[in-house]
Amino acid sequence: MLDYPEEQDEVVRKRPKALITGITGQDGSYLAELLLKKGYQIYGIVRPSSVSRVERIEHLLGRLSIVPGDVTDLPSVIRAVEVAQPDEVYNLAAQSFVPTSWQEPFATAHVTALGVTNCLEAVRVVNPAIRFYQASSSEMFGNAQESPQNEQTPFHPRSPYGVSKVYGHLITVNYRESYGIFACSGILFNHESPRRGEDFVTRKITRAAARIALGLQAKLQLGNLEAKRDWGFAGDYVEAMWRMLQAESPGEYVIATGVVHSVREFVEKAFEHVDLDWREFVEVDPRLTRPAEVHCLVGDATKARRELRWAPRVAFEALVDMMVDQDVEKAEKHENLGRRYRGSNSLKETEEESQVVDARQR
Ligand code: NAP
Ligand code: GDD
């Protein structure tokens, strides 16, 4: 299924073109919005199996072109690059949930590590002048030897996901050095939004705070409350991706706020926003802890500030409030719809939904 506009207009043909893998994900949706605002023509690689999971880009569907493909399948990536003839490729596709990477280390490596080589190969074969962005991660620092982490900090990944990201990062550098491709690697620290997947700790917390406040959920089970992260807003971070590809020369950039908070502090803030005392609702479930934890990550984005003129706009408190508010809104809508079908407010059913989310981690 190819769905891209056959635009003949001279002005339209001069619009820059971008191909995004992982466009159905959190970052893909924000990046597509940003690039559309900047006048880009957008192509998004979407796995045929995920056509029903396009909620995050539903509002953009008439304005971008979906190309079927899978980053583990080189011919499909080459075809997508041939169809789009992009100026820029953003590789955001990944199996990005850390706990799943212990359950499925091979599948994670196929997508998150080798998928990067496929994207770079497609660029090299079709048009090596295309600029390439790789979504690298602060998980590569893992058990970090210094704090805060910068572009020179050695990697010590603690999960199969982190190991795969190190491969993706290094192969990106290698294609730049081997073939002169304008290939950039953004080492992004955790970034969140109301579109964050429900398994990730921030969204799991804001969703639970909203639902508990509305009487739809009784408890929230979490793992390690002492883990610390540098949490920013995804909308700010996609701006950094774009800026990397507009720079004079390609490179690696840490993208972070430089401010660190614990999971416990995140919980406290989220529950406070709906006037609840978190200690009455949060339970620690040891099955949600990880085989090897990353205890603390905090980034030093000095290089990005200096060379890209990039800085985060949304602070921690505003991010938590934004996520809780939108989860309250979503829960109210969902519950009103549900009531229409079920005929009553069923706490049991909504509790079962929460357990499905936790099951992915155990
Ligand atoms: P996400 O919401 O999990 O999105 C991942 C995307 O990858 C989805 O669109 C998914 O498509 C797609 N995908 C998975 N397997 C694929 C395959 N085989 N072929 C093509 N597409 C595939 O992740 P995100 O939070 O937006 O993050 C975007 C990227 O940044 C990821 O590479 C992630 O590892 C990296 N990153 C994220 C953060 C963060 O804090 N968010 C920090 C550092 C780095 P489906 O809809 O089909 O599943
Ligand atoms: N998911 C989850 N669920 N995490 C929990 C829970 C829980 O119930 N309880 C405590 N945590 C802790 C985890 O142990 C971890 O230390 C921290 O919360 C953050 O977990 P996640 O939100 O799952 O994110 P992550 O830091 O492991 O990975 C995210 O950020 C990376 C960048 O550093 C993902 O988006 C990765 O794809 C990304 O690369």
pLDDT digits (tens, 9 = 90+) for 44-56: 999 987 655 789 9
Mean pLDDT, rounded, for 181-193: 99
Q: Give the HSE-up count for residue 216: Cα atoms under 13 Å, Cβ half-sphere.
A: 22
Mean pLDDT, rounded, for 202-220: 98
CA 282 to chain centre: 26
C-alpha 345 – ligand 2 centre gap (Å): 31
Ligand 1 atom nearest 24 alpha carbon: 9
Ligand 2 atom nearest 137 alpha carbon: 39
State residue 216 phi and psi, 5-degree precision: -100, -10
C-alpha 158 – ligand 2 centre gap (Å): 12
Mean pLDDT, rounded, for 269-290: 98
**CB distance 24 to ligand 1 below 6 Å:** yes
pLDDT at 3: 40
**CB distance 197 to ligand 1 below 6 Å:** yes
Mean pLDDT, rounded, for 234-241: 98
DSSP secondary-structure letter at 56? G
Confirm if 258 and 230 have CB atoms less than 8 A apart: yes
C-alpha 99 – ligand 2 centre gap (Å): 8
Nearest ligand, measured from the Cα of 72 = 1
pTM: 0.93
Which residues participate in catalysis according to the annotation? 137, 139, 161
Burial of 137 (0-12, 13-18, 19+ CB in 10 A): buried
Query: Which pair of structure tokens corresponds to residue 303?
Result: 């290089």
pLDDT at 355: 57
Q: Which of 60-69, 172-181, 194-203, 353-362 shows the lowest mean pLDDT across its residues? A: 353-362
CB under 8 Å to 223, separation ≥6 — which residues? 284, 285, 286, 287, 288, 289, 290, 361
**CB distance 199 to ligand 2 below 6 Å:** yes
- Which residue owns the Cα nearest ligand 1 atom 43? 137
Q: Can you point out the beta strands (E) in 92-172?
A: 131-137
pLDDT band at 335 (very low <50, low <70, confident <90, very high): confident
pLDDT at 362: 55
pLDDT at 44: 98
To 5 degrees, how large is the angle CA 148–CA 154–CA 156?
A: 95
pLDDT at 336: 76
- Which residue owns the Cα nearest ligand 2 atom 4? 201
C-alpha 330 – ligand 2 centre gap (Å): 23
**CB distance 191 to ligand 1 below 6 Å:** yes
Burial of 320 (0-12, 13-18, 19+ CB in 10 A): buried
CA 196 to chain centre: 7
Q: What does pLDDT average to over the chain?
A: 92
Residue 348 confidence (pLDDT) above 70: no
Supply the DSSP string of 191-234, one letter for each residue.
EE-TTS-TTSHHHHHHHHHHHHHTTS---EEES-TT-EE--EEH
* Cα(226)–Cα(265) distance, integer angstroms: 9
Mean pLDDT, rounded, for 117-138: 99
Q: Which of 174-183, 277-286, 293-302, 342-351 shows the lowest mean pLDDT across its residues? A: 342-351
pLDDT at 338: 67
